[in-house]
Amino acid sequence: MIFVDACFGKPTPYTPVWMMRQAGRYLPEYMKVRAQAGDFLSLCKNPAKACEVTLQPVDILGVDAAILFSDILVVPLEMGMKLQFLKGEGPVFSEPIKNQQDLDKLSVEKAVEGLEYVYETIKLIRGKLAADKALIGFCGAPWTLATYMIEGQGTKTYALVKKLIYSNPQFMHALLKKVTEVLKLYMERQIQSGANVVMIFDSWASALEESAYFEFSWSYMKEISSYLKAKFPDVPVILFPKGISGYLDKIDGDFDVFGVDWSTPMELAKEKLGDKYILQGNMEPTRLYNKDAIDEGIEHIVNVMKNERHIFNLGHGILPDIPVEHAKYFIKQVQKLTKK
C-alpha cells in the first residue's frame, strides 16, 4: 500500500494524499446517506452506512487512504456518559464529569465492548476497500476527550478543565489515565478488525501552555502509541496535535508520522522533526475554495518537502461548503505534481 509505505518512509511513485473529514458534509452522497440514517450518532452506530460513507471519497475523489467514519466522542459515550449532537451547538454531554464519584461510574470494559459497532464497520470497510488502499482507524487524544467530558461541550476558554489542571491535578490525571486505558484497547481492537494505520487527534492541544501540554496531553498520546507499536510494529501510528508549533523542539516518542496543522509552517516542522518522523500535511483547508490557491498551496509544500518523507493532507478538516470539484482537483494535482 502506497500510504503505508509512505508512513514508513519507503519510496513511493508519488506523494500519497488524503483529507481529514473527507467522508463528510461537502459530499451530496454523504448527505443522502446521513438523511437515511437519521441523526449523526445513528450513522456512526450503523456499520453498513458508516462503511458506505467511508468509501465514498475513495471512489469519488481517488484519495490514497480511507479513514473510518466515526466520531472521537463515541468513547466517552460508551464509557457511560450521555451524549447528544444538538443542531447549532454540536456535541453536548448533559452530565459532565465533576468529581471522582462521576469518574468511578465510567467503565473501561463497558466502553471497549460497547464500541463493537466500530469494529464491525472496520471489518466491512476492509472487505470492500481495494487491496492497495489503506484504512485509517482513529481516536481522540485523552486530553481532547477529557476536555469535552469536563466542559460538557466545545469551549473557547477551557476554564473548567484548566481549573482542574492547576487546582486538582491528581483528579485530572486519574481521568486521563482511565481514558488512556480505553483508547489503548480501542485502538488495538481497531487494528485487529482491519485498520492498516491509526491516528490520534489532539484537537485542543493549543489550549495548554508548554509544561501543561507535555504533562497532561503529550505524555498520554505517547503512552498509547508506545503500547500500539510494541504490539503492532508493522502498523503506522500518526499523531496530530493541533496548534503547538512553539513546542516542536520537545516532541519525541515511538510513533511514525507527525501531522502538521495549517498554522505550523511546513519549513519549521521539517527543520525540527523531518529527520525523526514522516510529516503529514498541511495545506490551509480554505485554499480549496479557489483552484489558483490550491495550486499555490501544493507548490509551496512540494518545494519545501521536495517529495521526501511526506504525506499530503490539509492542515485540518475539509469544510462543508467546499465544491466537490475543487476537492477532486486538489487530489489529482497532488498525485500529478509529486509523480517521481
Q: In whole angstroms, what is the distance from residue 213 CA to residue 244 CA?
A: 9
Positive or negative, the CA dihedral 36, 46, 84, 188 is negative
Instruction: List the grid coordinates of 276.
Output: 525523526
Where would I find the H helices in 45-168? 47-61, 74-79, 100-104, 108-114, 116-128, 142-151, 159-167
- The distance in angstroms from the start CA to the end CA of the chain is 17
Cα angle: 256, vertex 301, 24; to 5 degrees: 70
The residue to which cell 450503523 is assigned: 46
Under DSSP, the state recorded for 248 is: G
Q: Please identify which residue in the block is written with the cell numbers 487512504.
A: 65
Helix (H) or strand (E) holding 280: strand 278-283
Q: What does DSSP assign to residue 8?
A: T
Contact in structure between 339 and 301 (CB atoms under 8 Å):
no
Cis peptide before 282 (omega within 30 of 0): yes
Helix intervals (H) in the chain: 2-7, 28-37, 40-44, 47-61, 74-79, 100-104, 108-114, 116-128, 142-151, 159-167, 169-193, 210-213, 219-231, 266-273, 291-305, 324-337
For residue 260, the cross-strand partners are 281
For the annotated catalytic residues, the residue numbers are 21, 25, 34, 71, 148
159, burial (CB in 10 Å: exposed 0-12, middle 13-18, buried 19+)? exposed
Reduced to 3 states, what is the DSSP secondary structure of residue 101? helix
